[in-house]
Amino acid sequence: MTPAPETTEARKWVLVVDDDPTVRTLFVDILQEAGYRVVGAEDGYVAEDLIRDLFPDLILLDLHMPRGSGFSLLNNMRKHPRWQAIPIVIVSGYLDQIELLDEAGLTVVGRIGKPVDIDRLLALVRETLGK
């Protein structure tokens, strides 16, 4: 017997937050190809709206963005108890500054430096989302 095809509703949502359109598009394309529903946001402000609307299963988050940084998004996520449970993968070219990040009350499941090892990123996403 052939298994029933997976419905769209069963696929996990991933929110990619990065101000670099090339990086954002690359991550969106790779994750969609891997079977996830993916949406991109160019800054923390857009990301907050998408979190409210979609409540993603995972967030890939750049820290340094000129408008609505990843740091400010994380601080705002602390104010919403439900948002604190969303797994977050920090994706940054400034790994040394990740140590300065106060992760209290958040679910940071991984940290990946830029340039990104795509295989490592996909493995972390699959490990976190169980796919």
Domain ranges of the chain: 10-129
Cα gap 14→36, rounded to integer Å: 7
Cα gap 24→4, rounded to integer Å: 32
Question: Contact 92/84 with Cβ under 8 angstroms?
Answer: no
pLDDT tens for the chain, 131 residues: list them.
Answer: 433 344 444 689 999 999 999 999 999 999 999 999 999 999 999 999 999 999 999 999 999 888 889 889 998 999 999 999 999 999 988 766 666 566 667 888 988 988 999 999 999 999 999 86
Thinking of the domain 10-129, which architecture would CATH place it in? 3-Layer(aba) Sandwich (3.40)
Question: Contact 43/67 with Cβ under 8 angstroms?
Answer: yes
Cα gap 107→93, rounded to integer Å: 20
